[in-house]
Amino acid sequence: MSGVIALSPADLSIAALLVVGLSALSFRMELGLTRQIGVAALRTTIQLLLVGMVLKMIFDASHPLFVLAIALVMVLAAGREVMQRQSRRLIGFWGFATGTAAMSVSSFSVTCLVLTTVIRIDPWYTPQYAVPLLGMMLGNTMTGIAIGMERLTTTAWRESALIEGRLMLGQSWQEAIGSIRKESIRSALIPTLNGMAVAGIVSLPGMMTGQILAGSSPMDAVKYQILIMFTVSSGTGFGAIIAVWVVARRLFDGRERLRLDRLKAR
């Protein structure tokens, strides 16, 4: 068996009926999610159709500037999502730039390393490889960074008295917030580590499933999925460490005083 079985609009409408059923059940149970389910389904359909058309043009052109352009759009959109998910975020430019910069450094560096030294595709920016790989990196790194930053800022806000007490006892800012910073990084990595722990036993990851459905050898699909899991975990870890460290540093001024006024509620 080779190739992908084409899906017609009628086939997709059957899957859409499941979402309609979920929305109706939500309305019946008064969960308050009926509108959100409908909007999410509509956004998914429109966004993916538009992305499909854009990617087709980029794949046909195979020009590095087009790949760079879509990569910038992806990272800026991911950076905005990270900022929006914070119940308390850094004020001003730092609120957006911290997560965006951390994702850019970790995701772009790991993706370029994989494309040039592992996959060794020529040219290295070939869209069929570069765009999906970067997308998976950004998606997972975005989640990890958002969790880590959220955990750090909310805990620092809640435990400000404890942090200030440590500072009064002579601890440096690194020592005063060190335990909170470590727990924030741990929280950022938990979803990725859980996914790695159950991959192949509880779930078949998305990329592996897609390759198998496309007719690839299961072993080839497994090799690519192992590559993705390793790169995603490292990219998420590096990005979370950078973001959490920067946010932690911004919470203290040059005299090592806790500055919660640098945070604002969403």
N-to-C CA span, the chain: 51
**How far apart, in whole angstroms, are the C-alpha atoms of residue 171 and residue 176?**
6
Query: Which range is least confidently modeled, 22-31, 38-47, 72-81, 194-203?
Result: 194-203
CB 259 within 8 Å of CB 156? no
pLDDT number for residue 185: 94
CB 247 within 8 Å of CB 263? no
Is this prediction's pTM over 0.85?
no
Q: How far is CA 182 from CA 56, 76, 90, 100, 237, in A?
A: 43, 27, 19, 21, 12
State the average pLDDT for the chain. 87
pLDDT number for residue 1: 46
Domain boundaries, the chain: 1-61, 63-265
Tell whether the model's pLDDT for residue 226 goes beyond 50: yes
